[in-house]
Amino acid sequence: MAQYADAENQRVRTIGDFLVSSFGRILIALIVPAVTFVVLWQGFIFLRDSNAPQLVITLIAIVWGVGGVAMLFFVSNWLIEQLPQRWMRYLQPFLFVGPAIAILTWYLAIPTLRTFWLSLRNTNGSQFVGLNGQGVPFIQNYIEVFTQRIMLEAFRNNLLWMVLGTSLTVILGLLVAVLADRSKAESIWKSLIFLPMAISFVGAGVIWGMVYEYNPNVGLLNAITGIFGAEPQAWLINQPWNNFFLIVTVIWLQSGYAMVLLSAALKGVPGELLEAARVDGANEIQIFFKILIPYIQGTIITVTTTVVIFTLKVFDAVIVMTGGQYGTEVIGVRFYRESFINRNSGYGSTIAIILLIAVIPVMIYNLKQFGEREVF
Amino acid sequence: MESLKVRRLLSSIAVNGALFLICFIWTIPTLALLISSFRPRDDIKSSGWWTVLPHRGWQTTEELPIPEDMTRDEPITIEGITATYDEFREGVVSEDRQTQFLWVGNLRSGRIEVRERKWGVNWDFTFENYGQVLAGKTYEITNADGSVSIVQGDNFTGAFLNTFTVAIPATVIPILIAAFAAYGFAWMRFPLRKVMFIGVVALLVVPLQIALIPIMRDYVSLDLNGTFLAVWLAHTGFGLPLATYLLYNYISGLPRDILESAFIDGASHFTIFLRLILPLSVPALASFAIFQFLWVWNDYLVALIFLGVTNSDIQVMTMRIQEMTGSRGQDFHALTAGAFVSILVPMIVFFSLQRFFVRGLLAGSVKG
């Protein structure tokens, strides 16, 4: 791109001309950012302190937030374009990628290091953990995370979530994708399975909380088992099965995702391949296991990884339905309670680091994939 | 040939039947929520939502005055049925099992309802649950007996507006920033370009839990906690890796010659980005926008931590619902109405823009 920019704007100016214009430019270059800053700051103060009707606040907040970011881009670009060509060409890329890199650094990259640092330190981060004779220096948090009974329970449950939740989600998604592919009403079936994707975990918690309700006049499950003469059950309290009933909610939410990806992959299987197999006398089950599954293997792996990461971090679904009680504790809930209820930043950070370590294989895989792309 | 047709028909019935069964199970819980939210508060607990379907049950056909010389201990005879007061309170069923006698009210001033087993539907619907949930400080409800009582509203209107206030900027800001960055990575050359982009790819799957404690500390020292700006920025930070990655994939795939001819015409990067790239990228921007909007709208954790539970004026809907399940988990009338209000907007977005949403998912979505 640069060579084209080189060609443009090679104007020659007199020295006087340059001085006058550059003085004016510098003045404007100072005023414009200052005005921008004042406007944005006033908006912030207004939003923080105003008692205006809520609808007004909502509208102003949206305009301020969205407009503010756009304005910052415009003003900084205008400023950069005031600079001499050489400078402009050097700085403009940083205007484009700078904000994203700055935010990613502040919000994800540096916090990773800070969280690791905190995980070595005590409750409020004031000194290294375990230095005053209580436990092993530096790694006491990690020792506790791997020995505390409640954490072990959380690890066990997360394993259950990952294995059971993921496999059932993928199998159901695949089942619906294969079946819907053979139905004329394909898009209707797919929409209905996909719909829960739009619902929050909190909403799903309310929806399934009602299904599991003890009162058989409210709880569908108890009403159904009641028909067969069974006593009402507290499905979300009876251990260890309550974990399974929690996992069902996530299968319900996520199967649509698996179905959409797998369905798209199935559409990519060449028809001739299937025809050839049929001509050779393969039955549908053989075609499914010998041709379809190997062909869409890549997508199955992608879907599985995504759902595994999802179940690893599960939080809302559990906190709404059981709050992590009755043996349903998971890592996500533990992290929240330790960090923000018990205010133990050392311990909370340690749990966060464990979550990070768990996704590192996926991170490496992503980087490898990216490295294999030649275009960049 | 005939047998082939029959086989085709049978397999089609099997396929559609199986799909119907799965979809039926998938839809029932949401349908239950919707129906329950329109039923009167007492009905929800005393009869299942499925009684809105035709069913066989006891229906009152006649009301009898209670005998005057009634005492609690001695059995009495009504219409040929002999039982004690306590048994009548439970409901006494006649021998042919077709009639039930039920004592309603107390010993002195009650009445006896004669009920028969009949087919019927329980179509008693009301908007009062929504009225109460959406109302601010107080809300008047009319009870079954005609009296009026005043209850505390749940102010979901406020929470609804707050959710919008959080969701729209938290969707647009990351897209804008990511679009600039994607253009920069795709069409500009600068030092450390590759290193930075590798950083973006590496951050794709980093769990957001890793950032919550340090960011919380920053917000406390900047006095940003409990402001919308804090939540916008947090969602921007957590959404940026995926947004940048997806938009980069799209923007870098745009045909080179369009841009080159624009450069020859003397357009600057900024102009090309605004006039050319943004309009061309609408499909990609839309798919990510829907993705991010649903994510933010449905988010609970980030809002919980950065908006805080102390000031209920700035709470979003997921926080309110979670609070209700904790403190008033048995108030199904309010819970169902509140939950339905909160899933209404994502459902509309979802149904009207499903195509874009699916495209976004297919473009690869591993969110941290």
Residue-wise pLDDT tens digits, A31-60: 877 888 888 888 888 777 777 777 888 888
Burial B218-239 (b: 16+ CB within 10 A, else e): bbeeeebbbbbbbbbbbbbbbb
Express as a percent the part of chain A with pLDDT over 70: 92
Indicate yes or no: CB of A316 within 8 angstroms of CB of B15.
no
Within-domain flag for A47: yes
Residues of B in contact with A57 (CB under 8 A): 161, 165
Mean pLDDT of B143-150: 68
H or E element at residue A271 = helix A271-279
Express as a percent the part of chain B with pLDDT over 70: 90
Question: What's residue B85's pLDDT?
Answer: 74
Which of A54, A81, A252 is nearest residue B268 as measured by Cβ atoms? A81
CA–CA dist A199, B30 (Å, integer): 10
Mean pLDDT of A145-152: 88
Residue whose tokens read 């959080």: B166
A169 and A243 assigned to the same domain: yes
Within-domain flag for A46: yes
Question: What's residue B144's pLDDT?
Answer: 61
Residue A16 pLDDT > 60: no
The model's confidence at residue A137, banded by pLDDT at 50, 70 and 90, is confident
Residue-wise pLDDT tens digits, A154-174: 999 999 999 999 999 999 999
Indicate yes or no: CB of A359 within 8 angstroms of CB of B206.
yes
Express as a percent the part of chain A with pLDDT over 90: 20
Residues of B in contact with A211 (CB under 8 A): 29, 32
Kindly list the distances between the CA atom of residue B195 and the CA atoms of A60, A283, B192, B208, in Å, as whole numbers in the listed order: 38, 51, 5, 22
Residue B272 pLDDT > 60: yes
Kindly list the distances between the CA atom of residue A253 and the CA atoms of A287, B65, B301, B341, in Å, as whole numbers in the listed order: 29, 53, 17, 18
Which residue, among B161, B193, B195, B210, would best test binding to A if mutated, counting the most A CBs under 10 Å from its CB? B210
Number of C-beta neighbours around residue B259 at 10 A: 22
CA–CA dist A39, A32 (Å, integer): 11
Question: What's residue B146's pLDDT?
Answer: 65
Residue B2 pLDDT > 80: no
Question: What's residue B297's pLDDT?
Answer: 93
Residue A264 pLDDT > 80: yes
Residue-wise pLDDT tens digits, A171-203: 999 999 888 888 888 888 888 888 898 899 999
Question: What's residue A3's pLDDT?
Answer: 46
In terms of phi and psi (left: phi > 0; alpha: psi -120 to 50; beta: otherwise), the region of B147 is beta
A216 and A353 assigned to the same domain: yes
Which residue, among A105, A218, A367, would best test binding to B if mutated, counting the most B CBs under 10 Å from its CB? A218
The residue segments making up the domain with residue A281 are 149-372
CATH code for position A281:
1.10.3720.10
Q: How many domains does chain A have?
A: 2
Closest to B333 (Cα-Cα) out of B134, B59, B53:
B134
End-to-end, the C-alpha distance of chain A in Å comes to 15
Within-domain flag for A111: no
The model's confidence at residue B215, banded by pLDDT at 50, 70 and 90, is very high
Listed by start position, the domains of chain B span 53-118, 156-362
A256 and A334 assigned to the same domain: yes
Q: What CATH code would you report for B156-362?
A: 1.10.3720.10
Indicate yes or no: CB of A220 within 8 angstroms of CB of B50.
yes
Of A238-242, A267-271, B132-136, the one with minimum mean pLDDT is B132-136
Identify the burial level of A17 via C-beta atoms within 10 angstroms of its C-beta, where 0-12 means exposed, 13-18 middle and 19 or more buried: exposed
Indicate yes or no: CB of A315 within 8 angstroms of CB of B301.
yes
Indicate yes or no: CB of B168 within 8 angstroms of CB of A211.
no
Say what the ipTM of the complex is. 0.85
Residues of A in contact with B291 (CB under 8 A): none
Kindly identify which residue of chain B lies nearest to residue A212, measuring between CA atoms.
Answer: B29
Residues of A in contact with B241 (CB under 8 A): 104, 108
Phi, psi angle pair for B154, to nearest 5°: -100, 0
Q: What is the dihedral of CA B29, B30, B32, B34, to 10 degrees?
A: 170
Within-domain flag for A216: yes
Task: Tell me the average pLDDT of chain A.
Answer: 84
Kindly identify which residue of chain B lies nearest to residue A49, measuring between CA atoms.
Answer: B227
Do A208 and A321 form a contact (C-beta atoms < 8 A)? yes
A325 and A244 assigned to the same domain: yes
Within-domain flag for A116: no
Residue-wise pLDDT tens digits, B32-74: 888 888 888 777 777 778 877 777 777 777 777 776 666 666 7
Residues facing residue B56 across a β-bridge: B119
- Of A90, A112, A130, the last residue of a domain is A90
Residue B367 pLDDT > 60: no
The model's confidence at residue B363, banded by pLDDT at 50, 70 and 90, is low
Residue-wise pLDDT tens digits, B116-130: 777 777 777 787 778
Residue-wise pLDDT tens digits, B295-341: 999 999 999 999 877 777 788 899 988 888 877 767 888 888 888 98
Residue B181 pLDDT > 90: yes
Question: What's residue A9's pLDDT?
Answer: 46
Residue-wise pLDDT tens digits, A274-332: 888 888 888 888 888 888 888 888 888 888 988 998 899 889 889 888 888 888 899 99
A86 and A159 assigned to the same domain: no
Which of B36, B184, B201 is nearest residue A367 as measured by Cβ atoms? B201
Identify the burial level of B298 via C-beta atoms within 10 angstroms of its C-beta, where 0-12 means exposed, 13-18 middle and 19 or more buried: buried
Which residue, among B47, B177, B261, would best test binding to A if mutated, counting the most A CBs under 10 Å from its CB? B177
Kindly list the distances between the CA atom of residue A274 and the CA atoms of A131, A264, A291, A294, A360, in Å, as whole numbers in the listed order: 67, 16, 8, 13, 38
Question: What's residue A249's pLDDT?
Answer: 92
Task: Tell me the average pLDDT of chain B.
Answer: 82
